[in-house]
A and B are shown apart, each in its own frame.
Chain A
Amino acid sequence: MKRVLKMLEKRKDLEAILNYIEEGSRVLDIGCGDGSLLYTLKKIKKIQAFGLEIDEEKIAECVSKGLSVIQYDLNKGLPDYQDKAFDFVILSQTLQQVARPDQAIKEVVRVGKKAIVSVPNFGFWKCRFDLFFKGKTPVTKALPHMWYNTPNLRVLTIKDFNDFCQEIGVRIIKTIPLLSSEGDSEKIISLFSNLRADYCVFMLETK
């Protein structure tokens, strides 16, 4: 638990998510990775945790943490989940990796009463700098891969996401732009966020 709290001091995104999620709620984490976030939420917020993950090694990590996780590819949509089956659906650093982000977001807000989505921000100044002055595909802390080995199929900016939510009728309750710095820590960026934040957490709700 100490370790978890120490991690939270650094991870502003996790802290924000923790504050947002209500105690005892049903939470689905899509692309839950090794289950760290769900595990933390389960310990601190006593949530009912459900995870979806595609990678078998990560599934084994989740199972070792006592989480229930199902191997699943979000590209198939969530046809077997009922509308508003969860209080919260988390889509952390996954949206940019699916074939159809529009369909994925619609599914997420359909099965969840509320959704938490985090994406890397391509509007970050370093991305703009790399592209404009160096003429090279940006590589940043939030987008660490080369163009040829990146799992990210899409690049988008905070503004793009705002416009997109407007278009599909999803309300953004809260925007938390973040800048990752040395170590695992992050800080919240309140001014000129589309330029200064390298990724962003959005709290969503269907209108």
Chain B
Amino acid sequence: MIEQVLVLSLSKQTIERYNTTMSFSEELNIKQGVFTFAGDSKLPLQSGREFGPISVAYETYGVLSKDKCNAILLLHALSGDAHVAGKHNKEDKKTGWWDVMVGPGKPFDTNKYFVICSNVLGGCSGTTGPSSLDPLTKKPYAMTFPVITIEDMVNAQHALVKSLGIDCLYSISGGSMGGMQALKWVQMYPEMIKSVVAIATTTKLSPQAIAFNEVGRQAIISDPAWNKGDYYGKKELPRKGLSIARMLGHITYLSEEGMTRKFGRQLSSSQQFQYEFLTEFQVESYLHYQGQRFTERFDANSYIYLTKAIDYFDLSSGYNSLEEALAMVKSKFLVLSYSSDWLFPTYQSDELVKALRKNNIDVSFCEINADYGHDSFLLQNDLHEKLIHGFLENVK
């Protein structure tokens, strides 16, 4: 049924290839697809370059209503992908990255809403990025991939949403880099969006956060195996550099109180110090484990490109003020921040709320008391679930 709706709504000019596969998890009604566009007329990028063709990997959950007005676009953060909820196969160990929030009876209720999530442009989970093959050279783009921005990501998502025959989004939502995309979306396509849930995000990154991103990038670039980005198909991959970048990233996503609660000063195996430079503390082994696991699923070049896009993001660039940058917005807003998030601190959400309020936009804001730093938005939390659920129920 849903496939019929999707297929019927495809516009032939924009789509060159479309395929969907049936997936496990009937309850969620997960559909996977890849949408390819910008083959002939390339996508103009914010940098001034043009780029194409672009494939966008996406998943949908639930059923699109007949009036096509129940679609919610979810936007993932730096390391996320299109798989937002449930499992594809019974054998899958992990559920999607926001499974706590998306599904039947959950805040993004797939019984009511048609949830769409796609991998971002520049990513490495199905959407065109530095690891994709350049059709001209038949080799991976690597560092010949153009520098992309949040705006470029939004344009790719916009093409996808349009290809699904959807002109109106009931809501768009995302945390962190996902929130940045949501803000850019509502600025670029204000008439399409009824509501925005902007979580643990900012209209521009603080210099401190840019600094951390740069150290992450340098960790990758300094790894000899990075080889100026040309490592695809080689024996040695820049795993060391990527893993250090991820370890650093993880520190910034957590908080001191969160780490204290989770690990304390506990040692991982022995009861006493070894007086050697081993991985002794639990927090160390946690970081090593996270770093290692990340290299199994993420591309080092994508990490470089995506962190740069985050650094460049400034919603008010080209405007005299943030207030002016949001003057076109009509959507209802829910803005959430977390008390222990020092990477995207509450004052940044405050600035967004102030600018929205000055534009007379219907906005609600809450700083949620949570221990786990920036990562709190991904975790189970009754309060943010209640807020998002209540907010979505009241979108008209």
Contacts and interface: CB of A to CB of B under 8 A. Distances in A.
B393 A64 contact: yes
B369 A56 contact: yes
B367 A63 contact: no
A62 B364 CA distance: 9
Interface string A55-97: 0110110111111111100000000100000000000000000
Interface string B151-169: 0000000000000000000
B354 to A, nearest CB: 5
A71 B390 contact: no
A63 B369 contact: no
Contacts of A68: 332, 362-364
B387 A71 contact: no
A63 to B, nearest CB: 4
B386 A71 contact: no
B332 to A, nearest CB: 8
Contacts of B387: 59-60, 63
Given A70-B363, A70-B364, A71-B366, A60 B357 contact: no
A72 to B, nearest CB: 8
A63 B394 CA distance: 8
Nearest to B391: A63
A178 to B, nearest CB: 31
A195 B394 CA distance: 45
Contacts of B390: 60, 63-65
B353 A64 contact: no
Interface residues of B, number: 22
Contacts of B365: 69-71
A59 B364 contact: yes
Nearest to A72: B365
Interface in B359-395: 362-369, 383, 386-387, 389-391, 393-394
Nearest to B386: A60
Nearest to B394: A66
A136 B369 CA distance: 37
Contact of B368 (A56, A63, A66): A56
Nearest to A63: B390
A56 B381 CA distance: 13
A42 to B, nearest CB: 11
Contacts of A63: 334, 364, 366, 387, 390-391, 394
Contacts of B367: 56, 71
A52 to B, nearest CB: 10
Nearest to B367: A71
A80 to B, nearest CB: 5
A30 to B, nearest CB: 14
A64 to B, nearest CB: 3
Q: Which of A59, A65, A69 has the most CB of B within 10 A?
A: A59
Nearest to B369: A56
A70 B353 contact: yes
A200 to B, nearest CB: 31
A56 B358 CA distance: 23
Nearest to A61: B390
Enumerate the 9 nearest inter-chain pairs by beta-carbon distance, A residue then B residue, closest first. A64-B390, A66-B394, A63-B390, A60-B386, A70-B365, A59-B366, A68-B362, A71-B366, A68-B364
12 contacts: A56-B368, A57-B383, A59-B364, A60-B387, A62-B364, A63-B391, A63-B394, A64-B386, A66-B393, A68-B364, A70-B353, A71-B365
Given A63-B334, A80-B354, 6 more contacts: A57-B383, A60-B387, A63-B364, A63-B366, A64-B394, A66-B393
